[in-house]
Amino acid sequence: MHIPRPNLSDVNIQGLIGDLNLLIKQPSALQSPPCPNCSDNDKLVWNRAKCSAECEHASYALSEEPERYPIEQHVVPLVFELTSMRLVKTCWSCEGHLDIDGELWKVPQVSFYTTKPIYSQLLCNYLARLFWRKKLNYQWEVVLTNFGRTWDVTYTIKCDMSRVKNPSISLMQEDLVNMAKDLSENIKEDARTLIKDIESNKASILQD
């Protein structure tokens, strides 16, 4: 089956390149604190040398309601990396939980908002690449989510359970950590590569 390229106008291509450059230009965690509750004006003073998912305050600093809903331990690295992208805003996360019988009850996942679909596509491509390179135990996907309380487009990173016969929460939580390793910088590198690809193939894209 032939899958044609999208019919992009020159304006759309330039807009796409602009969106990618905007992502690339976002400051890293070492340049500016990404966590919403960590700044020089708050009790949790930003420390450049310690600014990472390993920060002892990260689970609270990443949450907008830290006293009620601190980010759970196994999902902190992924939430931190997504937040470090700046243009992706996490809104819900779960590290996964078992029921009283030891069966998988809640699947690990992270939901987020973003105004540009290309950022979600970059995440989706990156997760797929990690899986095919055997750096993840399971195949993960980025899907549209209905939160029911907002008209904003919401996405969720979650395991593709249709491909899992005997789910292991420990392996899923291992994946959460592995997919988070340098995620924000790797996504930026993918954005740079995509810009080069668009520029080199611009003429053929416009002819399709």
pLDDT digits (tens, 9 = 90+) for 91-150: 999 999 999 988 889 999 999 999 899 999 999 999 999 999 999 999 999 999 887 666
pTM to 2 decimal places: 0.90
Q: What is the total count of domains within the chain?
A: 1
- Residue 3 lies inside a defined structural domain of this protein: no
Domain presence at residue 87: yes
Residue 97 domain flag: yes
In a domain, 153, yes or no: yes
Structural domain span for residue 60: 10-207
The predicted-structure confidence for 84-93, as pLDDT tens digits, reads as follows: 999 999 999 9
- Is 67 a member of any domain? yes
The rounded distance, in Å, linking the Cα atoms of 158 and 185 is 21
Instruction: Please report which confidence band the pLDDT of residue 160 belongs to, taking 50, 70 and 90 as the band edges.
Output: very high
Label residue 38 by pLDDT band (50, 70, 90): confident
196 near 174, Cβ under 8 Å?
Answer: no
pLDDT at 40: 45
